[in-house]
Structure 1
Amino acid sequence: MAGRPPLRIGQHGKITRTEISEGVWVARCRYRDRDGVTRRMERMSPDGAADEYGRGAENVLLDAIGARRPPGSGSITGTTLLGDLLTGYIARCRDDGELAPKSVDTYEATISTVKPRFVGVRVSEATPGLLDEILRGIRRDHGATRERHTKVALNAVLTDAVLAGAIGSNPVRELGTRRKRKTDKRTKGAPALGVDQVRALLTALEGSEVCKQKDLRDPVIVFAATGLRRSEVLALRWEDVDLDGRVLTAAFSVVRLKGKGLVRQDRTKGGGEARTLPLPRFAVDALRRRKDEWSGPNTAGVIFPSSTGTLRDPDNMGKQWREVRTSLGLPDVTSHSFRKTVATMIDDAGLSARIGADQLGHARPSMTQDVYMSRGQVHTEVADVLDKAVGISDE
């Protein structure tokens, strides 16, 4: 005769109630833990509660089963608060070093802002519907970027909860990706400059006294010539530039870290590897002039220091550019526009997306391009395209 079939993992057997004294009951059952071992569980009536038929004891037992976790699986249970897990996620990111310190600061700022929305929510209560409602509120009140960062953090901590056996599946995986509205002009980002605009900009920079006073002329020329990020341009030192060979190496970035201030870190945005870029002649000329003429303080040892000689804040430089760009006839152009401009010129010249990715320090365009095309090459044709665009040649 076949024996009684075993309980499924996470399943309890029949609950029995036994009255041990007047109004005091004990509820018992067998429960198969996630380690496969079947154990007896029992709970008594709540203290001070009238429990005439043992229903109170059974409810206490069912609550205990719901919060059950496998022995040794960690500290996450169904009753763990999401807010506590999100705080722990930031600490873990700092410890493991997989994210750049600046990125961790950004996530920490987001979690600090949105944590009150999760303060009383338990892991077992994190349904797709509830999370979607909270994320929509974050998007409405704080923007799409903070919604996206919050979703990344939630996905990480609720994956941990699944692995700990606190929940059966990750509710974040049930949430769809919000599409950007095509009619929303804000989603288009910074505009790229046309060839005529680049020529006009270079001329305007040379004649702008305010750009010279704010020391914007030379770094903006380098922006337009390379498509580097602000943080990368402001981290350049003369040893990173070979004016005779007409190349520079982008391997560092200037960022502001919590508790440390501005630092020159040995990585670019996203932790990308160092890349060597060609320089158009107009950029070489500007850098030669700067090397010969610069006489200001420079304790930071960079090509473009602050007015006091320290590292220059990328955000402050962005603010200075916003103050002068209208007078240059480019009211909507940001520093990111120069990156788009270089990418557009590369594309218009018929050069490959792989060359564009190498120039701008982006992730690989596709697996095919990664496998069949070399990365990290010095594409001198990029400099030729830019020189040609602004009307400068070697002839």
Structure 2
Amino acid sequence: MPRGRPPLRIGQHGKITRKDLGKGVWLARCRFRDDDGVVRIVERRTPPGRRDQYGKLAEDELLEHLDSRRTPSEDEVTSSTTIAALVRTYLARLEEEGRAAATIDTYKFAAGKLEGKLGGVRVGEATARRVDTAIRAMSKTHGPTMARQAKTILRGALGLAVLAGALDSNPVRDVSPIKSKTPPAGARALTADELRALLIALDDSEYCKANDLVDPITLLIATGLRRSELLALRWADVDDEAGTVTVSGKVVRAKGAGLKRVEEAKTAAGLRTIPLPLFALEVLKRRADQPQHGDLGVIFPSTAGTLRDPNNFGKQWRKVRDDLGVKDTTTHSFRKSVATLIDEEGLSPRVGADHLGHRHVSMTMDRYMSRRRTHSAVAQLLDRVVAEKNE
């Protein structure tokens, strides 16, 4: 019985064929098994402006491209490894370490743009000047935000090269900072008066009622949660007797997998239990008595009973915020508002960090003081802030 073609190993290519296209231009092609295990046909032509008598130049182009497609393991990183291959190794490592899917998708997008500026450069050629030039070009072409993302990726990737002994030092450390002409202002914090007026406006808004924004926005005001944390809250996370809610996960969109609820937070401090103001407990009690959509047990599902998309939730808020009298706010504004109220009340930064799930307050506090406590003072403060709503 005749045997079939032997399978390719990951990172291995098959026989290279050359095809004469005429006028000194050749096409070189082969089968190649990529890092995802899929075998693809890869091809390259003679470089423009060069005459290729027998197709050798086209084959050289193909081999160089195949080398950049291979993702080396960390112990295979050498001065000849391309930046593109090294970046893929670094991103794979981040995935293995459990970095958020959304972050990985963002980094992969930035890495794709970076490859056009620096991907063919080899580790041994990655001087500070060359890296700085590439980052500046990224900023000019794609904006400072993506340039900073590319710089972060390069710092981590070239750090692997240092660990492997392929570089003596990381050239990214000598690259100058990327500054925006107009630094982002960030989310605007609402005042106590604005929060009280907003709670009244929410109750009067037909759009908010029709799109189930009243209760979730009220809970954002009451807790300062991230919207991904809010939409991941389950009824099982609420303790009516203690008057608390436990943040035990978040809703994320994974590329190719859609929305999912993951049992993790942005930081380790993000998994926390916080007391709820009385007005928030009243909202949850009323909502619990209403018909529930779906069987996921989340408090704020979509109209179909599935997980609610944080991005769509943000779009709905942006559509109605002007009508509610809080122009230029985002769902993150409520988080910043809670932090501002905590500060104005004279509560310590530690109280704010524990309540909001921030990792760092200061080096001393992080290393020598206990963390992840519950602070009833925050719930009492928020109750006082909105007390006038029902008067």
- TM-score of the aligned structures, taking structure 1 as reference length: 0.76
- The superposition leaves residues 193-242 of structure 1 with CA deviations (integer Å, 9 ceiling, x where unpaired) of 01110000000011111101111110000101110000000000111012
CA-to-aligned-CA distance 1:82-104 (integer Å, 9 cap, x gap): 1111122222222233x233322
Deviations along 1:15-53, one digit per CA (max 9) or x if unpaired, are xxxxxxxxxxxxxxxxxxxxxxxxxxxxxxxxxxxxxxx
Taking the TM superposition and a 5 Å limit, the aligned residue runs for 1:204-353 are 204-293=201-290, 295-353=291-349
- Report the Cα distance in structure 1 between the residues aligned to 2:367 and 2:81, rounded to whole angstroms: 45
- Would you say the 8 A contact 2:144–2:178 is kept in 1? no
Distance 1:158 1:214, change over 3 A: same
Contact 1:100 1:271 in 2 (8 A): no
Compute the displacement of 1:160 (Å): 2.3
Q: Which residue of 1 aligns with 2:48?
A: none
Q: Aligned partner of 2:274: which letter?
A: L
Say yes or no: does 1:388 pair with 2:375.
Answer: no
Letter in 1 for 2:199: L
Tell me if structure 2 keeps the 8 A contact 1:282–1:392.
no
Q: Residues 332-355 of structure 1, C-alpha deviation per residue, up to 9 Å, x if partnerless?
A: 110110011000000000000000
State the partner residue of 1:153.
Answer: 153
Asked if the contact 2:101–2:253 (Cα under 8 Å) also holds between the matched residues in 1, the reply is: no
Q: Given residue 376 of structure 1, which amino acid in structure 2 is its aligned partner?
A: R
TM superposition shift of 1:389: 1.3
Q: Give 2:384's aligned amino acid.
A: K
- Structure 1 residue 366 displacement after superposition: 1.1
Residue of structure 2 in register with 1:83 after alignment: 84
Is the alpha carbon distance of 1:338 and 1:115 closer, same or farther for their aligned partners in structure 2, counting shifts above 3 Å? same
Provide the C-alpha distance between the structure 1 equivalents of 2:208 and 2:271, rounded to a whole number of angstroms. 30
Q: CA RMSD in A?
A: 2.3
- The residue aligned with 1:54 is none
Looking at structure 2, the residues matched to 203 and 134 of structure 1 have their Cα atoms a distance apart, in angstroms, of: 51
Instruction: Give matches, 1:82-231, under 5 Å.
Output: 82-97=83-98, 99-179=99-179, 184=182, 186-231=183-228
Which SS does the other structure have where 2:300 is aligned?
coil
CA distance in 1, matches of 2:97, 2:247: 25
Question: Which whole-Å CA distance do the structure 2 matches of 1:231 and 1:206 have between them?
Answer: 23
User: How far does the alpha carbon of each residue in 1:254-313 deviate from its partner, in whole angstroms, 9 at most, with x for none?
Assistant: 0001222111100111344521111111111111111112x2522322000001000001
Percent sequence identity over matched residues?
A: 48
> What is the distance in 1 between the residues matched to 2:389 and 2:202?
20
* Local SS of the residue matching 1:390: helix
Paired positions, count: 319
Letter in 2 for 1:126: A
Contact 1:102 1:256 in 2 (8 A): yes
Give the C-alpha shift of residue 140 in structure 1.
3.0
Q: Distance in 2 between matches of 1:373 and 1:86?
A: 38
Identify the residue that residue 58 of structure 1 maps to in structure 2.
none
Q: Is the 8 A contact 2:267 2:357 kept in 1?
A: no
Letter in 1 for 2:80: T
- Residue equivalent to 2:56: none
Per-residue CA deviations over 1:113-156 (Å, capped at 9, x if unaligned) read 32222232122221111211211222233333322222222112
Query: Could you tell which deviates more after superposition, 265-274 or 297-306?
Result: 265-274
Distance 2:306 2:84 in 1: 39
Q: Report if the CA contact (8 A) 1:296-1:307 is conserved.
A: no
Note the C-alpha offset of 1:190: 0.9
Larger Rg: 1
Letter aligned with residue 177 of structure 1? P
2:355 to 359, 369, 393: 359
CA contact 1:162–1:170 (8 Å) conserved in 2: yes
Helix, strand or coil at the partner of 1:255: strand
Out of 201-210 and 363-372, give the one that drifted further.
Answer: 363-372
Secondary structure of 1:159's partner? helix
The answer to whether the 8 Å contact 2:144/2:179 transfers is no
Structure 1 residue 373 displacement after superposition: 3.5
Q: Does the CA-based 8 Å contact 2:128-2:175 persist in structure 1? A: yes
**Cα distance change on mapping 1:393 and 1:279 into 2, 3 Å:** farther
**One-letter code of the match for 1:174?**
D
Code of the residue aligned with 2:209 in structure 1: it is K
Q: Secondary structure at the match of 2:260?
A: strand
Q: Give the match's secondary structure for 1:197.
A: helix
Amino acid at match of 1:77: T
Query: Which one-letter code corresponds to 1:243 in the other structure?
Result: D
* From 365, 370, 373, the counterpart of 1:369: 365
In structure 2, how many angstroms separate the alpha carbons of the residues matched to 1:296 and 1:163? 53
CA contact (8 A) 2:87 2:154 kept: yes
TM-score w.r.t. structure 2 length? 0.77
- CA contact 1:387–1:393 (8 Å) conserved in 2: no
SS of equivalent residue, structure 1 residue 315: helix
Amino acid at match of 1:76: V
**Equivalent position SS for 1:188:** coil
* Unaligned segments of structure 1, at least 5 residues: 1-72
